[in-house]
Structure 1
Amino acid sequence: MAVALSPDQELATKAFLDALSESGATCVSRATAIKFLFARKFDVIRAHALWRQHEATRRREGLNKFEPFEDPLKTELDTGKFTILPTRDATGAAIAVFTANKHFPSLTTHQTTLQGVVYQLDVALQSLETQRAGLVFIYDMTDSKYTNFDYELSQKILTLLKGGYPAKLKKVLIVTAPLWFKAPFRILRLFVREKLRERVHTVSAPQLGVHVPRASLPRQLGGQLDPDHAAWLEHCKNCYTNNIQSSKLDGIIDEYVISNHIPAAKPQNGIIEHEVGCDMTSDSAARLCDKSADMHISGDPPYTCDTSPLRHTHGYNGDMKSRHINSGDEDDLDISTRGTWSSGEVSPGLSDEECGGGGGESAGALLARVRAMRRRGLVAEYDEIRARPPHGTFHHAKLPSNLAKNRYTDVLCYDHSRVLLSQTDPDDPTTDYINANYVDGYKQKNAFICTQGPLPKTFGDFWRMVWEQGTLVIVMTTRAVERGRVKCGQYWPLTVGARATYAGYAVTNEAVEQEDDYTVTHLLLTDLRTEQSRRVWHGQYTRWPDYGVPGGGRALPVLRFLQQVRRAQHAARADLGDAWAGHSRGPPIIVHCSAGIGRTGTFLTLDICTMRLSAEGVVDVRGTVERVRAQRAHSIQMPDQYVFCHLAVLEYAVMHGYLESADLSGFDDDTEESE
């Protein structure tokens, strides 16, 4: 059946098929061609190179002929060591899981295992959404032993996915890696370029929530899903049989009959929208559809004969907007989402690159706009932003057992971006709650965690979050007591050499550095269960009043403090060496004030805006504030803080030569008393 493409894509498809025909590959379906072109942004030359590598890999590893209903492949599939989940991650990517403790190298060959992987991937790739959004590969090493590990097989799978298979590998998540795995893992990392290396992550089960919503993960990985592997295999059988029949009817039988059936399509945002259904061509296939319709998984929609059985379970208010997702280079695991999210909406699918934001203006244009608007105009602009309704729900924060964990009853955390802790009580799912949200930084997803000043009853939760998220730097923009009121609990020992214990974690004060505007404390955090330790840099800015801006509105001391925070994060990340496999800037920085919205949101806005100005020469203060507020509700609490962000960015621009000066004479002339 025809797939609707743009004119340029149609030309690329014809050119690709012509190139294959000239090279002797005549029996290739249009749908198969489109898979390879999607995987390489419809670049014909690169898609042809991928095709050649794919063919060579299939021949070399014996992946051309499949007998999925006969042994040894049938037994291999039944083990469930590899499966595709009936859900997607927040960007729309399919989720594949390889469970290491179910693999026994002595009992199966590489060919059989690879056939089991490719057979299922081919079915998953029938979905156009998967072609666009790609694949997240989870390698679960929980409870695995050295006898379960096959280095050569792991290398073959990674090589196949990164450069010999027509799907975009978005990221690889290695879960609960044992100590003995570290050496071969370092070797594996040498085979890929730095850009890909940044997207190969070794994580604990609780840290998986940073990459994949818990609702999309199976329970053995700390999620909420009970996937039915047998139902998935039935779906694979259904589509496998149907595709062979369809290929015969179409008169085209290429080597990849599993993956060459794509249903009818119609234009969507200039690209493609597929219709649901396998276009069943036999009564027996239709009966399989009816059978699968009775299978429900953990409250999610059932497996169906839909070529896209994978479902979103996480997104903006539960609904993902349509996006066109382009592929990158062969060695680039990431996906760049190109969809447009209207101002203020949260896009859980933003890539690292897009976290920089769109639009923007030069420092000179910003100065001209600030001069024209003056304080009153900026305050009016802020009031417009603040008047908008929330960008999400607060269901978890409002649960009775969680209410007491919130410092303020009117400062709650969004459900869609909240940080999930490990569940300490299997009978109480609310033990995963803390009043904290992930917020994207400049070209770094989840660069920050914004949270409230810890309460005595949440000290243990706070340090559990620090440990589980791998945090190396904590930024505190409040004093413990201000104007006679407690703004934050004393959650770390103040005296050098002192040690305090908080619910299974010990915190030792190793050193204190006192500056005019801030205090740096060097802490040692120890997990008492494992006796593993990690050093944490704690920076407390002490001259920033609640509901306000730094004394006299001067930004220089704050900008200097921000520079120190960046240096601390860079140094701590460098000290980790190969132990850190995530983003090159390191794990999330935790930032808090009292409520975790006013001074915290201002600090984040300055970091993002100044980094973008340094990297691109442009800045977008308003857009940055809107994006931060979409992930941490009510960020930038007061109009004076919004104004301060503009003035501080201008001061930064002068300091670094983007402006010769920033004369704002008359800026306050028409200002009434601010709130």
Structure 2
Amino acid sequence: RIPCSVYFSRVSFHLYHFIRCVAKAWSTAEEPAPIPSRSRPRSTRADQVFERAADPSNVTRSPKPPERSMKYNMAASLTSQEEQLVKDFMKVVNDQRISHSAGLLTWNAAVKFMMARKFDIRRALALYEAHENTRYREGLCTFDPTTDPLKGELETGKFTVLPTRDSSGAAITMFTASKHWPLESSHRVTLQGVVYQLDVALESLESQRCGIVFIYNMTGSRYQNFDYELSQKILNLLKGAYPARLKKVLIVSAPLWFKAPFRILRLFVREKLRDRVTTVSLDQLSLHVPYNALPRELGGNLSLNHKAWLLHCLKSMANRYSASSGEAPPPLPALVQPPLGEEDLTEGEEDASSAALPTPADLLVGVHEKHNCEEREKEVEVIKRQGDGQDPAAEPPLEAPPPMAEEEEECPSSASSSSQWEGQGGVTLEEFIGQLQVKGRKGLYQEYSQLKAKGPQGTFLTARLKANQCKNRYTDVLCYDHSRVTLARRGDDEDSTYINANFVDGYRHKNAFISTQGPLPKTYCDFWRMVWEQRCAVIVMTTRTFERGRGKCGQYWPAAVKASTDFDGLFRVTTLSADPKPDYIQAELELHNYETKETRLVSHLQFTSWPDYGVPDSALAMLAFRGVVRDKQAQALASMEPKWEGHPLGPPIVVHCSAGIGRTGTFITLDICILQLEEEGRVDVRSTVERIRSQRAFSIQMPDQYVFCHLALLEFALLRGLLQDVALDGFEDDDDRGGSDSE
């Protein structure tokens, strides 16, 4: 059993991305019709069954306005200018495909991409690039629908294309949630089933012209059937990586656990799009889709023959991928290849997708407007010193420090007597919302750039000593001298006092946190020494040990329950219990000191829902996790022996990710801002980030993390009832990074 608030937050987190994806999923309002299709071979009986049901004359439709019909007629063929643009598009794409020994893109396929982006070559290239990258990344290059696992996936009927259309002529697709079991079907196979059928549906001129309606049928489904990551991938595909128009999303028979958070999360969707993503009952569904166009399971009178549709798909695929068509699916090298070099880079790391494409007459200028928001867990703004042969330990500070006397005045020392968060500052919630409405995402990006422009506010002399270099996970993520955690000296070893960790003040709480990197095998013992010496009772880990096949943090505690590990004869750590939750893992550890013969309990809380790229699309899971962290800290404080005599909120909480600056800084920022909001009713994200960065260099590493902190506070306020309603219409309007084709 879990508290209602945690359950609500968990469900809301799963829904949030569903809503955010839909917010940008609408293509342009007017889309030119595709060119006439190729001549079709003789139909099989299965084709005839499907085509007879799909005949527009068999579907109840509202009368079309004359101007709409005129638009359709005018779009039946291409103008000479449009034809030339298609040729230019094909030249760029096919030159690239030839260089990778891939098959040529056909005229019909090229027209689909160009029509989807109003014959804007730059946007069409971006769409094509996203399309190819998505197929490559998700394993959607080739399909074999005649063998398992794809054959079995298709036969479940969880996704299908109805042989009918809505009143505007849009094709109707349906995903039946009750038929999907996340533990039994991988995302790759499910996506293959969806794309395989969409490829066939989009061969229809009318489907290209009128778009598609996506029905998410939740009738009879349970929470175990809901897969938010799969929903995210499908909607991301439809919104900006597939040449189709997503006209409407209808969520049918949504259960109560879905409806309540859905109403709140819709507030973040632009107003004019709210009517396009709708929860409806079976009775209300006919207001959006004609009764005769719906299958019986949705209250219509259509007898759905999914087997006939699959046979139609099989024949269509064979025709499209025959030798004569020239559209054999290539081993898809995208215009921009997957990121090169998965190994950890150090200074000067650059997004591989930012490489310029070959372009005649500058056709591709501006294609790469998207920003790769991958959490790199380290600062990438540091300029690499190339070819100087300089030892990193001998490098001067990243920024020339002021004289030591001035530094002590300006830099918040960990030895000072009070926290930085003493006086009131910031703005009220209402003012905060107003600022967000004015700034938008673009304005927050600019604000973050101003913060980063200030550079480091201290020296890194100890971190750069030769003996300490091997203790730093990344050569460009170092530890401030003025706020570093100093370990007790071990005998005569002068270098035994260093660990890449900094004290960070909380809200009116001196040294509330220790920001540190993910421990390396050679620093495991140092990490536990720090935990012991600072009497830390809670460890917050915001990364997985491996992400995308890369080591992000060492396994510094026993992975198995009841297992024990010794560290240099100083400590023994035993995992007493481990309780996996949907968004985090809660473990209880026993830390035994061999020298003092004492034993302490330490709570280890690992957040596992942070995505491999970017930031979470909702802070709800993180907010719930933060609540668990605070509860564990309070419990530990109450049972601490000898009694804690320091700050009422207890000893420092250890927070780490991989480098200890990105997700770590994000978590600490949220905690401070939430405490200030609860205590003062005011918010001051910018000043909070500035202060954290003054104690742990480069904290809050990416602009999207900065934006995430702002939106997370709104979600917190909504959940706590501090806000009844909030509208952020247009928040994303000036953001070109999403690749949306929305109006």
- In the superposition, the TM-score normalised over structure 2's length comes to 0.44
- Look at both structures and tell me which one has the larger radius of gyration over its CA atoms: 2
* Higher RCO (CA 8 Å, separation ≥ 6 residues): 2
- In the superposition, the TM-score normalised over structure 1's length comes to 0.48
